[in-house]
Amino acid sequence: MKLTTAEEQLMEFIWELNEAYMKTIIDSYPEPKPATTTIATLLKRMQDKEFVGYKLMGNSRLYYPLVSKSDYFSKHVNKLIKNFFGNSALQFASFFTKETNLTQNELEDLKKIIDNEINKKKS
């Protein structure tokens, strides 16, 4: 299931905070801060989508992520590869390295990551 842009922005704060009360979440937003009712509505939708859970702490709810950022990101990257690159990670990697204006250092770092993954597969 996908999050809306507003939900993704809110989820970023929750991932960063790991767990937080609504006041802390709202304080994380830049000015102008969204209304409490807006955040409450977004949190309810995200609970329904099973992205966020909460624990009751007295009269307050302590919110926490049910989905990790890496799992969410991985799912969307894989969908992107499937939909735009014919399910070919190689085509995606080729496009990514050619079209994103990576510096030489960034390309060398990427090469190291790939070399490390190759060595893991060999073991």
Tens-level pLDDT at each residue, the chain (123 residues): 789 999 999 999 999 999 999 999 999 999 999 999 999 999 999 999 999 999 999 999 999 999 999 999 998 888 889 999 999 988 988 888 888 888 999 999 999 999 999 999 988
Specify burial of residue 39 (Cβ count, 10 A radius: 0-12, 13-18, 19+): buried
Q: Which two tokens stand for residue 27?
A: 């304080």
Residue 32: is the preceding peptide bond cis (ω within 30°)?
Answer: yes
Radius of gyration from C-alpha coordinates of the chain: 19
Q: Does domain 5-65 have CATH number 1.10.10.10?
A: yes
Q: Could you tell me if 18 and 36 are in contact, meaning their C-beta atoms sit under 8 angstroms apart?
A: no
Q: Could you tell me if 30 and 65 are in contact, meaning their C-beta atoms sit under 8 angstroms apart?
A: no
- Where are the chain's structural domains? 5-65, 69-122
pTM for this entry = 0.75
